[in-house]
Chain A
């Protein structure tokens, strides 16, 4: 009898796209959370609607190591004939394969070192359900019921989940619970339950919620006061707008008139999407769009206009694997350079890097304040992993004391009291000028916004001095931005060390585990998470105070490293890259292996 593992395992569900498995798999993950145990879920899906293989990885870990785990899975639920052979091979030694044995498995597929647990799922469904769609859907629910028995998950937790999930659709509750019971009972009757992997109730979740980052972005925009949205559907950003629209329908309808306090247009393309957002920003409404890499490419010209004409606008970039169409349903952090310098000429854009759904909420809401304060585009750099997968996250937080920062917008009274108004006059010396909104004053404050060069009074000018002054002021404004942006988070280890790891965004999920593993191997590390570009002074300080700094990124070219070198004038030899760009979320093992390989190599070079 092998060792019993409690609350530390990976369960992989292998399904077929379009069979309705995601909600059953999610029910499984949520049940773990409701038993007080940290859990993460990653949906690995193809760029296809129906029929292709899809996987759903659930990691359960008491130590809160919730990044993607490298290597094989402890339990694989293999429901897809297309990927069956690979799925069998994906079970770790001593692990379990749960499969539909309505048809007998060919002996050639059997492995000696894993447990095969066959459940006649199709036969059960055929017998118990009349409706063809139910027969399909409840296959997924049956294996969740069986897993509950095998892992010792409290059945009442599952029943409550079903009741919560189908609130308002009560007819669906009884058949779902019945399907769960079918699987549960079959497992109890036929297997030695519970198996060597078990779930035991804990109290380790606290106030955390389980939600995806795109929902965080959508709610952040709602709470941040966004009213104008232009968008064009593109994976993995689409659900940002769909969820924003859905929350608006609930929360932004004027109770007296029944009319909408928002406007959303599905544009004809990404060019129009950001054009609309910029038009809204120009006219004083909080406006945004959401897209992914190919959309950012199309939006680049407009981003340059908004930078130069100084229009507030928010762009949510849910990154996926590029270049070109790349892998539309796989994750990456590879739009750093494209966004930081989006558009031609000397252009610099403000970037924010959330690492959790809660931070998607917080930074999205903050982005509208920043856009108005700085009068420039603010780009949220999320990614598919953060945006579309469910994560354990601190709850979304808002206090009613928070007031929108509308920045330097002149009222009719202020204009009346002004002797002279000039749109691009740096009155306060911070590079941020005062703007006026159309319709404010009958004869003061009107100006012509343009992407061409102009003087301080917004009058077209090709004079070199006017152009240079304007460009230098924009640089000054970019410096000012640092005062409003979140600082990098620095976490010193328990021991003094000269090794630092720099990371951003979703790498957070793997970083604590990587640090733990490195510590075990005698390599203590300090951590720094970058939250914003332009970079604050603390970032250069961190690099300067460590002899060896690794920049961990989910792209091929070390784009953040390049940006750090360029912007902070860091000697390239001070920064090493650890890169993961296979389209899947980075693992702690990859980080540890990267650090070790680089250290070994450098040691070799010294010898």
Chain B
């Protein structure tokens, strides 16, 4: 069930450029389990959108089926949303984007949704470079059906019922990198300081932006045998770089010491500032990103942060050369060639 939140808020709440507080970006009260990592993601999205001063009605929330896919109900009440079918959110988002390229598409999916039933659609939406933010709330378990192993569960881990994962896991970040995603990041839902700027940067990026978010399931996958539990992730997380986001209108004053910091200009002119914890980390090297993710995994660690970005990427619509006006706004007099043209067409069939 969804419950409406009270509209009441403290007068002193900070307002963004549009005069909106973060409360204006909230959704219905969550019905997910108390402590669910997905709620932290919702909260990060609310903060990111508020700080970016995006008009909520210019965002479309997309999802498939599962706990993760229920989450868009719990943020951005003034945005349209579409909770589609299991694993097939990418195609619906593709169609929505084809119809109106002038909105932002914020998609939330899960490990079952994206790595199992929807793996095919996930792969193809990456290679089509659809202009969208695709977040996977990855808890390594099937929550809504009560605890089955997921395709992202690490080989050898046990689920709550004691069943061991016999097979290799699917790493959606390395898949996204291999398939040509132009923005790939991995975050931990419990690290809001890391997640919010990454979401903001992803929303300023043109092309396909993928964020795999480790989001522990408190009910079915927070036990000692899990590699997706809060404790395990907190003990094994490694961050390649700390990312900060500097909006286009904010004056950039910070001194940038050579070798440690890197600024990446995103499509809308805003800056993604990367503070490299690992001095060798190179966010422009797709191949190395894949190797880094795998090397950390071999050591039982989880590499987080911005893994790769291509600031020169082109979106699906640019590649397809569609008109500037969104297709759902093109009028009949443009779309319909009219009876005179049809008369000529008929003549061709005589």
- Chain A: residues with CB nearer than 8 A to chain B? 33-34, 209-211, 219, 222-223, 225, 227-228, 230, 251-252, 254, 257-263, 265, 267-269, 271-285, 287, 301-302, 305, 309, 395-400, 403-404, 436-443, 446-452, 459-462
User: Which residue of chain A has the shortest Cβ distance to B91 in the bound complex?
Assistant: A275
- Neighbour of B328 across the interface among A259, A284, A450, CB < 8 A: A284
Question: What residues of chain A lie closer than 8 Å to B257, measured between beta carbons?
Answer: none
Question: Are B56 and A281 in contact, with the CB atoms below 8 A?
Answer: no
Q: How far is the CB of B163 from chain A (nearest CB, A)?
A: 28
Q: How far is the CB of A201 from chain B (nearest CB, A)?
A: 15
Question: What residues of chain A lie closer than 8 Å to B98, measured between beta carbons?
Answer: 227-228, 263, 265, 276, 279-280, 285, 287
B 285-329 to A, binary, CB cutoff 8 A, 1 in contact else 0: 000000000000000000000000000000001001111100110
Q: How far is the CB of A598 from chain B (nearest CB, A)?
A: 39
Known: A285-B98, A439-B57, A446-B57. 8 other contacts (CB 8 A): A227-B328, A251-B341, A259-B323, A282-B99, A302-B88, A437-B80, A438-B57, A446-B79
Question: Are B96 and A272 in contact, with the CB atoms below 8 A?
Answer: no
User: Which residue of chain B has the shortest Cβ distance to A402 in the bound complex?
Assistant: B336
Question: Are A439 and B102 in contact, with the CB atoms below 8 A?
Answer: yes
Known contacts: A279-B91, A439-B57. The answer to whether A269 contacts B78 by CB under 8 A is no
B103 lies within 8 A of chain A by Cβ: yes
Question: What residues of chain B lie closer than 8 Å to A403, measured between beta carbons?
Answer: 332
Q: Which of B330-350 contact A (CB under 8 A)?
A: 330, 332, 334-339, 341-343, 345-346, 349-350
- 9 residue pairs, one from A and one from B, having the closest CB atoms: A279-B95, A275-B91, A285-B99, A276-B95, A438-B80, A209-B349, A283-B99, A272-B91, A279-B92
Question: Are B121 and A272 in contact, with the CB atoms below 8 A?
Answer: yes
Question: Are B337 and A268 in contact, with the CB atoms below 8 A?
Answer: no
Question: What residues of chain B lie closer than 8 Å to A460, measured between beta carbons?
Answer: 1-2, 73
Question: Are A260 and B95 in contact, with the CB atoms below 8 A?
Answer: no
B97 lies within 8 A of chain A by Cβ: yes
Task: Give the complex CA separation of A280 and B99 in angstroms.
Answer: 5
Question: Are A267 and B91 in contact, with the CB atoms below 8 A?
Answer: yes
Q: Which of B91-145 contact A (CB under 8 A)?
A: 91-100, 102-103, 120-121, 123-124, 128
B55 lies within 8 A of chain A by Cβ: yes
Task: Give the complex CA separation of A120 and B297 in angstroms.
Answer: 74
Question: What residues of chain A lie closer than 8 Å to B345, measured between beta carbons?
Answer: 219, 396
Q: How far is the CB of A223 from chain B (nearest CB, A)?
A: 5
Question: Are A209 and B327 in contact, with the CB atoms below 8 A?
Answer: no
Task: Give the complex CA separation of A284 and B329 in angstroms.
Answer: 8
Task: Give the complex CA separation of A227 and B326 in angstroms.
Answer: 10
Q: How far is the CB of A82 from chain B (nearest CB, A)?
A: 33
- Chain B: residues with CB nearer than 8 A to chain A? 1-2, 28, 55-58, 60-61, 72-73, 77-85, 88, 90-100, 102-103, 120-121, 123-124, 128, 317, 320-324, 327-328, 330, 332, 334-339, 341-343, 345-346, 349-350
User: Which residue of chain B has the shortest Cβ distance to A450 in the bound complex?
Assistant: B83
Task: Give the complex CA separation of A269 and B100 in angstroms.
Answer: 23
Question: Are A442 and B57 in contact, with the CB atoms below 8 A?
Answer: yes
Question: Are A442 and B78 in contact, with the CB atoms below 8 A?
Answer: yes
Question: What residues of chain A lie closer than 8 Å to B336, measured between beta carbons?
Answer: 222-223, 225, 398
User: Which residue of chain B has the shortest Cβ distance to A448 in the bound complex?
Assistant: B81
Question: Are B100 and A439 in contact, with the CB atoms below 8 A?
Answer: yes
A-B contact pairs, 14 of them (CB 8 A): A211-B349, A257-B324, A261-B334, A262-B327, A279-B93, A279-B96, A279-B99, A280-B96, A281-B99, A283-B60, A284-B100, A397-B342, A446-B80, A461-B1
Task: Give the complex CA separation of A404 and B333 in angstroms.
Answer: 10
- Neighbour of B96 across the interface among A282, A442, A443, CB < 8 A: A282
- Neighbour of A287 across the interface among B77, B95, B120, CB < 8 A: B95
Question: What residues of chain A lie closer than 8 Å to B339, measured between beta carbons?
Answer: 398-400
Task: Give the complex CA separation of A451 and B65 in angstroms.
Answer: 10
Task: Give the complex CA separation of A223 and B341 in angstroms.
Answer: 11
Question: What residues of chain A lie closer than 8 Å to B100, measured between beta carbons?
Answer: 283-285, 438-439
Question: What residues of chain B lie closer than 8 Å to A450, measured between beta carbons?
Answer: 82-83
User: Which residue of chain B has the shortest Cβ distance to A252 in the bound complex?
Assistant: B335
Q: How far is the CB of A31 from chain B (nearest CB, A)?
A: 12
- Neighbour of B321 across the interface among A222, A223, A260, A269, CB < 8 A: A260
Question: What residues of chain A lie closer than 8 Å to B97, measured between beta carbons?
Answer: 279
Known contacts: A279-B93, A398-B339, A460-B2. The answer to whether A284 contacts B99 by CB under 8 A is yes
Question: Are B350 and A210 in contact, with the CB atoms below 8 A?
Answer: yes
Q: How far is the CB of A453 from chain B (nearest CB, A)?
A: 11
Q: How far is the CB of A63 from chain B (nearest CB, A)?
A: 21
- Neighbour of A228 across the interface among B99, B321, B323, B341, CB < 8 A: B99
Chain B CB within 10 Å, residue with most, of A251, A267, A305, A398: A398
Question: Are A268 and B85 in contact, with the CB atoms below 8 A?
Answer: no
Question: Are B80 and A396 in contact, with the CB atoms below 8 A?
Answer: no
Question: What residues of chain A lie closer than 8 Å to B327, measured between beta carbons?
Answer: 227-228, 261-263, 280, 285
Q: How far is the CB of A444 from chain B (nearest CB, A)?
A: 8
Question: Are B79 and A276 in contact, with the CB atoms below 8 A?
Answer: no
Question: What residues of chain A lie closer than 8 Å to B338, measured between beta carbons?
Answer: 398, 400
Question: What residues of chain B lie closer than 8 Å to A252, measured between beta carbons?
Answer: 335
Task: Give the complex CA separation of A230 and B94 in angstroms.
Answer: 9
- Neighbour of B128 across the interface among A254, A265, A271, A439, CB < 8 A: A265
Chain A CB within 10 Å, residue with most, of B55, B57, B83: B57
Chain B CB within 10 Å, residue with most, of A265, A277, A438: A438
Known contacts: A230-B94, A257-B323. The answer to whether A441 contacts B57 by CB under 8 A is yes
User: Which residue of chain A has the shortest Cβ distance to B69 in the bound complex?
Assistant: A450
Task: Give the complex CA separation of A273 and B91 in angstroms.
Answer: 7
Question: Are A449 and B81 in contact, with the CB atoms below 8 A?
Answer: yes
- Neighbour of B95 across the interface among A269, A277, A301, CB < 8 A: A277
Question: Are A278 and B342 in contact, with the CB atoms below 8 A?
Answer: no
Question: What residues of chain B lie closer than 8 Å to A259, measured between beta carbons?
Answer: 321-324
Question: What residues of chain A lie closer than 8 Å to B124, measured between beta carbons?
Answer: 267-268, 272
User: Which residue of chain B has the shortest Cβ distance to A460 in the bound complex?
Assistant: B2
User: Which residue of chain A has the shortest Cβ distance to B127 in the bound complex?
Assistant: A268
Task: Give the complex CA separation of A549 and B324 in angstroms.
Answer: 56
Task: Give the complex CA separation of A51 and B92 in angstroms.
Answer: 41
Chain A CB within 10 Å, residue with most, of B90, B98, B324: B98
Known contacts: A225-B335, A268-B121, A446-B77. The answer to whether A439 contacts B84 by CB under 8 A is no
Question: Are B96 and A283 in contact, with the CB atoms below 8 A?
Answer: yes
Question: Are A462 and B1 in contact, with the CB atoms below 8 A?
Answer: yes
Question: What residues of chain B lie closer than 8 Å to A278, measured between beta carbons?
Answer: 84, 92, 95
Question: Are A459 and B2 in contact, with the CB atoms below 8 A?
Answer: yes
- Neighbour of B330 across the interface among A261, A279, A443, CB < 8 A: A261
Question: What residues of chain A lie closer than 8 Å to B55, measured between beta carbons?
Answer: 442
Known contacts: A280-B98, A281-B95, A283-B100. The answer to whether A275 contacts B84 by CB under 8 A is yes
